Structure 1
Amino acid sequence: MSSPHTVPHYFVPGPSKWPMAAGISMLVTMLGASAWVNSVSWGPVVCLAGIAAMLLVLYFWFGDAIGESESGMYGRNIDLSYRWSMSWFIFSEVMFFAAFFGALFYARAISMPWLSDLDHKFIWPDYAPTWGNGGPAGVTDSFQTMGPFPIPTINTALLLLSGVTLTISHHALREGHRTKTAIWLAATILLGAVFMGFQVYEYIHAYQELNLKMTSGIYGSTFFMLTGFHGFHVTLGAIMLSVILYRVLKGHFTADHHFGFEGAAWYWHFVDVVWLGLYVVVYWL
């Protein structure tokens, strides 16, 4: 494989069918999802078929990109383009979570004091401005809030440790130690899988023992919205790292040409940072 420093031109791929296929797959997915939420019988089948089609498109599309990279078509300019693209993608994810953290802040710092003022006492005489109290009696079922111990704290340790193992793997790759790279990368994926297992257990505990659900007022909706989307991102990051692990085992990447690894690592570290903010704001405050 050619080094990115020795390819002078900017590679421009030829016409591809994958963008059109991806658009059609997403259209089918959304049509099925809209029918599904409206209880139309064919909705689930069409939605799942669209998702499956989209996964196939991504498999072949990324496969083409990997083939181009491994054949030496990508130079410094392409490498720079990928870095900017991944940077802007992560920035969009930052804004995504910022909106949800903003909703949580608005509910706690603005809405609660406003609903408890003298004017609103005539509307909600039983309302007390305590975060997680479920609102006035009779509006939502009573529930218990989720504390930081023990599972959230264990999950925090798992994600922080996964960031360390991923960094060790990256340094091993830069030093040309492929076996060490694979071992520490596999450890990172395993830590992510354990994290998700604990989160599933936490959700079961919330529903069955705390009566904490999506319908448990603004506390329940923001709790599951933030932790659920973060869990989805952990799952996506683990899938990305699994693909990178497969490529490492196949002999892809060199010490100076491995942005696929770096891009996935950037995403995983972003997920770690989001969790730290979530851990403090959702579980402690």
Structure 2
Amino acid sequence: MSSATHGTTPYYFVPGPSRHPVMAAIGLFFVIMGATQWVNGAGWGAWAVAFGMVWWLFTLFQWFRDSVAESEGGLYGRKIDLSFRWSMSWFIFSEVMFFGAFFTALWWARAHSVPELGSLENALLWPDFKAVWPSRAVGVTGSPADIIEPFTTMGPFWLPTINTALLLSSGVTLTIAHHALIENHRGRTIAFMWITVLLGIVFLFVQGYEYMHAYSDLNLKLTSGVYGSTFYMLTGFHGFHVFVGMLMLLFITLRLQKGHFTPEKHFGFEGAAWYWHFVDVVWLGLYILVYWL
């Protein structure tokens, strides 16, 4: 394993052989094997999934702990910092493509699939079909046989608007925390980071309540035609990303309390902030395209 020479940061740190990748792969093996057996009725599949998740999470904890120790030990120089920035940039780009696919599916359904199904060419197949979006009434759901129950669409007021205010506020508090860290005001940084984490948690609770309202009061489900599937795909995956981003910010906050990061060197903080701002931007697109249009 490379190490610093005479107390200086190495030009490029090369870690030694590690057990963590194969240990993580073993955990994921049990998760996938257990899940496939679980959905096929094998009772032991659930236990295999639980064992694999515990194994995998424990491995990640050790892996991240070692990486933090290497960073705080001064082993990460400018080249490593640059590689981290490129890696995070490409990761966020992959997330842009991920959500881009779902936004494209929504656009294609609204602009092409539904109008084409209501065209004269398909009138003989579905004479009662009405090409209207949102597809919320009997005959408009793409189900003349009435196998899709009528439902009510989700409007922007008030839960989605509240969540928009929460996420935008969290972006502001995170930016304040970043500037406070650059100015070496650690107490202010930690305080605003906790506010940001709390706003993320409240967002998730509001979205959970929104889903309960959608299922029980609006009869809006994942099976509610193309509208229901695209609604839950976009908002559900975004909610998962909010959860992941909130965990990232939580761990960064705990590291700040331990004295990690300096005004000059804090890419762990910046990487989590990039991800959170990306999540904010995606939500603005969702708020406009899913709830308003």
Same fold (TM over 0.5): yes
Instruction: Please say which of residues 224-233 and 37-46 is displaced more in the overlay.
Output: 37-46
Alignment partner, residue 48 of structure 1: 50
CA RMSD, Structure 1 to Structure 2 (Å): 1.2
The reply on whether 1:188 has 2:190 as its aligned counterpart is no
Q: Does residue 1:171 correspond to 2:173, yes or no?
A: no
Do the aligned residues in 2 keep the contact of 1:128 with 1:136 (CA within 8 Å)?
A: no
Whether the aligned pair in 1 keeps the contact of 2:154 and 2:291 (CA below 8 Å) is yes
Question: Is the contact made by 1:196 and 1:235 (CA closer than 8 Å) also made in structure 2?
Answer: yes
Deviations 1:108-159 (A, max 9, x none): 1110011001121111122111122222341300100000100101101110
Greater relative CO, 1 or 2 (CA 8 Å, sep 6+)? 1
TM-superposition CA deviations, 1:138-182 (whole Å, max 9, x none): 130010000010010110111011000000000000110000000
Taking the TM superposition and a 5 Å limit, the aligned residue runs for 1:1-285 are: 7-131=9-133, 132-133=135-136, 134-137=141-144, 138-285=146-293
Q: Provide Cα deviations, 1:217-239, integer angstroms capped at 9, x if missing partner.
A: 11111111110100000000000
Separation of aligned partners in 1, 2:244 and 2:55? 17
Q: C-alpha displacement at 1:8, in angstroms?
A: 4.4
Identity of aligned residues (%): 60
The one-character-per-residue Cα deviations of 1:86-128 (angstroms, maximum 9, x if unpaired) are: 1111111111111111111111111001100112111112211
How far apart, in 2, do the equivalents of 1:153 and 1:80 lie?
38
Question: How far, CA to CA, are the matches of 2:98 and 2:109 in structure 1?
Answer: 17
8 A Cα contact 1:165 1:184, kept in partner: yes
Q: Which runs of 5+ in 2 are unaligned?
A: none
Following superposition, the deviation at residue 54 of structure 1 comes to 1.4
SS at match of 2:98: helix
**Is the 1:126–1:136 Cα contact (8 Å) retained in structure 2?**
no
Contact 2:115 2:131 in 1 (8 A): yes
Displacement after TM superposition at 1:283 (Å): 0.5
Gaps of 5+ in 1: none
Which whole-Å CA distance do the structure 2 matches of 1:251 and 1:53 have between them?
29
Runs of at least 4 residues off by over 6 Å: none
- Provide the secondary structure at the position in 1 that maps to 2:69: helix
Partner AA of 2:197 in structure 1: I
TM-score (normalizing by structure 1): 0.96
